[in-house]
């Protein structure tokens, strides 16, 4: 059983979806502290040939709260402005019509709890690009909530009968292969390779939001990208 665990992010980059695609069960890690200035409520899209940050407006966000204790702000004017920005950036993209309809459906989701809101987004996009992985919510999993960091990850893996744990390459310094081996779990890190496509600009800009990937690529091409990685 291959398991992946990560915080829910706002329209994350292609590597996030590769991690989801590579495992049997993916845990949306919603009962850890919210990180201000991270990727939980923001990401980058392409505007006039340069990266442009977009944000979800938050209500009461604090690094002293768990992710599921925070809400998206109920600000319709802000949401409409966000959608206008995305429309402006991608109106001429080849897959704009289908993708923008999906984005509108996601953005207008009526449950404003940030964990549920982003879990819905992740599920909708996974369905659109053909990912079949089973999703679980961390706060719903029976585990020892007194544990922290690596110990909590290992506890979740053991409760889900994981034989392998996959993590994004950015976490390579956070986890010890020996600790995982001791608990009967093989630790692997996923590194994205060779994901490049036409953006209608001179020089490709990598690692933008999945919005950018979907706007410029067919579902079939995106599924090819999902397998463009190596495990370390």
**C-alpha–C-alpha distance, residues 113 and 8, integer Å:** 12
If we measure between CA atoms, which residue out of 17, 15, 216, 228 comes closest to residue 121?
Answer: 17
pLDDT tens digits, one per residue of 137-169: 999 999 999 999 999 999 999 999 999 999 999
Asked if residues 198 and 93 have their Cβ atoms less than 8 Å apart, the reply is: no
3-state helix, strand, coil in the chain (%, to 5): 40, 20, 40
What is the arithmetic mean of pLDDT over 191-199? 95
Asked if residues 146 and 168 have their Cβ atoms less than 8 Å apart, the reply is: no
Spatial strand order of the sheet with 2-6 comes to 134-137, 25-28, 2-6, 164-168, 186-192, 229-231
- pLDDT(190) > 90: yes
pTM beyond 0.75: the answer is: yes
Q: What is the dihedral of CA 101, 107, 111, 117, to 10 degrees?
A: 110
Beta bridge partners of 164: 2, 186
Identify the residue with better confidence: 135 or 194: 135
Res 194: pLDDT: 87
């Amino acid at each position: 059983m291959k398991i992946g665990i990560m915080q829910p992010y706002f329209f994350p980059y292609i590597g996030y979806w590769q991690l989801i695609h590579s495992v049997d069960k993916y845990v949306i890690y919603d009962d850890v502290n919210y990180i201000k200035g991270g990727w939980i409520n923001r990401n980058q899209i392409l505007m006039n040939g340069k990266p442009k940050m977009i944000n979800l407006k938050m209500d009461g966000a604090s690094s002293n709260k768990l992710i599921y204790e925070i809400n998206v702000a109920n600000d319709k004017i802000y949401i409409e402005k966000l959608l206008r920005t995305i429309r402006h950036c991608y109106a001429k993209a080849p897959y704009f019509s289908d993708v923008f309809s999906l984005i509108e459906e996601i953005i207008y989701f009526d449950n404003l709890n940030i964990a549920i809101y982003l879990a819905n987004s992740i599920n909708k996009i996974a369905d659109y690009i053909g990912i079949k992985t089973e999703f679980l919510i961390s706060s719903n999993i029976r585990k020892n909530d007194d544990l922290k960091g690596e110990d909590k990850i290992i506890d979740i893996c053991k409760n889900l009968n994981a034989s392998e744990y996959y993590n994004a390459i950015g976490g390579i310094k956070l986890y010890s292969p020996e600790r995982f081996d001791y608990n009967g779990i093989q630790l692997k890190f996923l590194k994205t390779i060779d994901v490049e496509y036409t953006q209608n600009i001179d020089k490709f800009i990598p690692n933008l939001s999945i919005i950018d990937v979907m706007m410029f690529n067919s579902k079939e091409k995106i599924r090819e990208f999902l397998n463009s990685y190596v495990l370390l």
